[in-house]
Chain A
């Protein structure tokens, strides 16, 4: 008896289509309508929703907020790369440091949000430490001041995600064969030369992947601002705005147009990445 492959594939395919492709198709359809998500009638809106997303300040401003997170993720990549290089050589307490640096990545996002709410409170941990260091005049409303709130949140994001980049870099560095370093050392290369000519080329793939993930990740920030400020004081990100538009103000059409714009940007970024970095290792069967 021959049972075809479809029986084995069916559960995965049905779920894939139901929860990825049908939503994407519906979203496109909703995005050209004015709809509250309940009414049986959807009013066609043409490109109205898109025009609003791209012209109304309330909607395009959220892209500017993404820039804070984008800048933060570059800092995150630099910090992670530094520590990955340092810890790939012989260091005392290597595993302890490795564990400490990576650990935040595993923590629950809501818990991290609360930990940093506590840290940034007026008179909280950060203010107390600044005072102890004699920098008392630099205390401010870390989350209440629109000039600084996004920096505080982006800093939280760096704290939370550096560990992921760090572990990925560390893994890549350790997969470079040891003989290459030995040969380089015989040739008189110092640590900087080794970093510049062995490590960076050796992990180029993972570094550029990190930049791509940084861009799409910065556009999709949700948890940290939603939990810590609820989007107040100018900290609303694209996804927080889309969430509020859809589920609080019930403008499903408009929220869908936002989501389509976001999806297009992410696909574009990915496409550019594949062009720059043809990915022959991921070819399936």
Chain B
């Protein structure tokens, strides 16, 4: 390749990286400045003291971030466990049993995948309300469980690659259907389960609409809504908002650095199926 093309290539990569990183870095700068310093310096000026964590302390306590993380964790754990169980059971039924209405059931899952959740929220709200779940963590949990067709899809696809001869061998040895599911299928599904846990975990951590709509009371704040609420009283103190934003972004950075490869693969598998 010619030198010019090579230079242009690297230039474009560096430029794109700057476009991605600058907006984030300036927020980090703001988060580390004192109020007076913030008011007297430009956004691109680095903070005088890189260890000034006062804004983080303010954001953590006033923003009730501990509660946000705790609520998010509960919802994450319950929803992910439920998704894996419900999804693998359904996929097992579909791929290992022959029964009437199978095509209908498959059709129901297929069509539901086309309905964007955001369109039905007006009517879904009335249902969740009639179940008495509004303003409880169960609203988010049942919605994350109930509107997740992609995971069931991934499980179904993956289960087809597990040879049936394994089930049959176990059944000849006297295992019942449920034992086959628990002892043979579930352990072999680990890669698919990891994919689902990663893509759904990221989606739940970042979800805003559902917690904002269904869990209004401040005690139920998740990480997104805690950050959203924090802006109200601290609207004039950007250095505190910046710190709160950084607190929300930090876990994602860490998870991404640790699990990069799995995240790429999970996203690719989740989005194209």
Q: Which residues of A contact B (CB under 8 A)?
A: 1-6, 8-9, 11-13, 15-24, 26-27, 30, 37, 79, 82-83, 86-87, 91-92, 95, 97, 99-111, 114-116, 118-119, 121, 124-125, 128-129, 132, 159, 164, 167-168, 171, 191, 206, 209, 216, 220, 222-223, 227, 239, 242-243, 246-247, 252, 255-256, 259, 262-263, 266-267, 270, 282, 284-285
Contact = CB atoms under 8 A, between A and B. Distances in A.
B122 A256 contact: yes
18 contacts: A8-B93, A13-B105, A15-B147, A22-B127, A24-B115, A83-B12, A83-B16, A91-B13, A97-B17, A100-B17, A100-B20, A102-B264, A111-B248, A128-B42, A167-B267, A256-B122, A263-B116, A285-B95
Nearest to B14: A97
Interface of B: 1, 9-10, 12-13, 16-17, 19-24, 26-27, 30, 42-44, 85-87, 89-90, 92-97, 99, 102, 105-106, 108-110, 112, 114-116, 118-127, 142-143, 145-147, 149, 152, 156-157, 160, 176-178, 181, 202, 205-206, 208-209, 213, 223-225, 227-228, 231, 238, 241-242, 245, 248-249, 252, 255-256, 260, 263-264, 267-268, 271-273
Contacts of A285: 94-95, 102, 106, 156, 160
A6 B181 CA distance: 15
Contacts of A282: 273
Of all A-B residue pairs in the complex, the 10 with the closest CB atoms, nearest first, are A19-B146, A15-B146, A12-B90, A5-B97, A8-B93, A5-B93, A23-B123, A27-B123, A23-B120, A171-B268
A159 B19 contact: yes
B248 A110 contact: yes
Nearest to B45: A128
Given A3-B177, A91-B9, A128-B43, A110 B224 contact: yes
A83 B13 contact: yes
Contacts of A132: 44
Given A110-B248, A118-B30, A132-B44, A220 B160 contact: no
A114 B271 contact: no
Given A12-B86, A83-B13, A242 B122 contact: yes
Contacts of B96: 5
Contacts of A83: 12-13, 16
A57 B44 CA distance: 42
B242 A111 contact: no
Contact of A19 (B122, B142, B267): B142
A102 B264 CA distance: 9
Contact of B112 (A20, A82, A216): A20
Contact of B143 (A19, A99, A129, A164): A19
Interface centre among B20, B44, B142, by most chain A C-beta atoms within 10 angstroms, is B20
Contacts of B268: 167-168, 171
B89 A9 contact: yes
B206 A108 contact: yes
Contacts of A91: 9-10, 13
Contact of A125 (B22, B95, B255): B22
Contacts of A12: 86-87, 89-90, 152
A161 B1 CA distance: 30
Nearest to A255: B122
A91 to B, nearest CB: 7
A256 B123 contact: yes
B207 to A, nearest CB: 8
Interface centre among A104, A108, A262, by most chain B C-beta atoms within 10 angstroms, is A108
Contacts of B87: 12
Given A108-B252, A285-B160, A16 B112 contact: yes
B205 A259 contact: no
Contacts of A104: 20
Contacts of A19: 124, 127, 142-143, 146-147
